[in-house]
Structure 1
Amino acid sequence: MAPLTIRPGVEIPDAELRWRFSRSSGPGGQGVNTADSRVELSWDLEATNAIGPVLKDRARERLAGRLVDGVVTIAASEHRAQLRNREAALERLAVLVARAIEPPPPPRRATKPSRGAKERRIAAKKRRGEVKRLRRPDDGG
C-alpha cells in the first residue's frame, strides 16, 4: 500500500500502521458470523518518524485523551466489507492527525465595545428595568 497522506509534506509510512481484524456486529446477515470485517487501525505517535518534534508535541497534546501508551487506535465496522472498513479507518486517522497537527489559530485581538453599542446596552437595561417595575404590585393602599 502507499503511505497515508495527512497533508502535503506529511505522510505516514504503511510500515507504521498496525491492523487488527475481528468479527463485526451490525449489517451483513449470515456473513457477519464468518467474515472478519471489523477493522482496528493503530498508529504509534511516540515512535513515528513521519512528523517532526514540534508537530509530534502538538499532536500529543491534542490527542491526549485518545492515546494509550502513545498509540492512537481507530475502529471501523460500519460497512459490510473489510476493504471499505479499512478505507474508512484510514480516512478517519488522516483527518484526526491532520486536525491534531494544524497550527493554532491566531490570537484574538482585544477590542472595546463601540459607544453606540454601550448606549444600546444601557437603553435595553433601562427598558427591561421599567418592565419589571411596572409588574410589581402596589405596596400602598
Structure 2
Amino acid sequence: MPGNLPIRGSVSIPESELRWRFSRSSGPGGQHVNTSATAAELSFDVAGSPSLPEPYKRRALERLAGRLSDGVLTIRAEEYRSQARNRDAARARLVSVLSDAIAPPPKKRIPRKVPRAIKERRLENKRRRSEIKRQRSGRWS
C-alpha cells in the first residue's frame, strides 16, 4: 500500500517513514507457523518524523512516553495467519494510536449552578422518605 497513511485531518505519514520487520508468529499453527514469517512489526520514529507538525509531535511524545523507545513507536501484529493481514492490522493500529495521541485536549468542563427547583425537589423527596421511615419505626414498638 504505497503512498501516505492518513492520521488525522491533513496530517499523514509517508510510507517511506515506516520500518517493517517480519518474524514467525508465536502460538499454535502446526507446520505453517514454523515456516513462514507472518508476524509484522511496524516501527515509526515519532521524534524524528519530518511529516508530523511540531505541536503534534510534542503532544504525541508526551502522551506516548510509556510506549516509546528512544522516540520510536513499535507496533506488533500477529493475530492473523497471513503477513498481508498482519501488515494491515499494524497500520490500522498505528493510525488509531497516533490519532488519539495528537488529538486536541478535551474542553474543560465548566461547573454550572444547580437550579433552585431541583434543589427543592431533592429536599422534598428527602423529607418524604424521612417521614415514611419515621412512621415505620413507630408501628412495631
TM-score (norm 1): 0.84
1:132 shift after superposition? 5.4
2:116 is aligned to 115
2:70 is aligned to 69
Contact 1:43 1:72 (C-alpha < 8 Å) held by counterparts: yes
Contact 1:27 1:80 (C-alpha < 8 Å) held by counterparts: no
Which amino acid is 1:123 matched to? Answer: E
- Give matches, 1:33-72, under 5 Å: 33-72=34-73
CA distance in 2, matches of 1:117, 1:83: 58
Which amino acid is 1:51 matched to? Answer: L
Which amino acid is 1:111 matched to? Answer: R
Deviation readout 1:37-70 (Å, 9 max, x if unpaired): 1111111111111111111111122212212221
CA distance in 2, matches of 1:103, 1:33: 44
Which amino acid is 2:72 matched to? Answer: V
CA distance in 1, matches of 2:4, 2:124: 61
CA pair 119-37 structure 1, distance change in 2 beyond 3 A: same
Which amino acid is 1:22 matched to? Answer: S
* Structure 1 unmatched runs, 5+: none
1:82 is aligned to 83
Deviation readout 1:68-105 (Å, 9 max, x if unpaired): 22111111111100110000000110111111112222
TM-score (norm 2): 0.84
Instruction: Tell me the number of residue pairs that the alignment of Structure 1 and Structure 2 aligns.
Output: 139
CA distance in 2, matches of 1:137, 1:66: 63
Contact 1:40 1:75 (C-alpha < 8 Å) held by counterparts: yes
CA distance in 1, matches of 2:76, 2:21: 9
- Give matches, 1:25-40, under 5 Å: 25-26=26-27, 28-40=29-41
SS across alignment from 1:6 = strand
* Structure 2 unmatched runs, 5+: none
1:125 shift after superposition? 3.0
1:125 is aligned to 126
Calculate the aligned-residue CA RMSD, in Å.
2.3
CA distance in 1, matches of 2:45, 2:19: 9
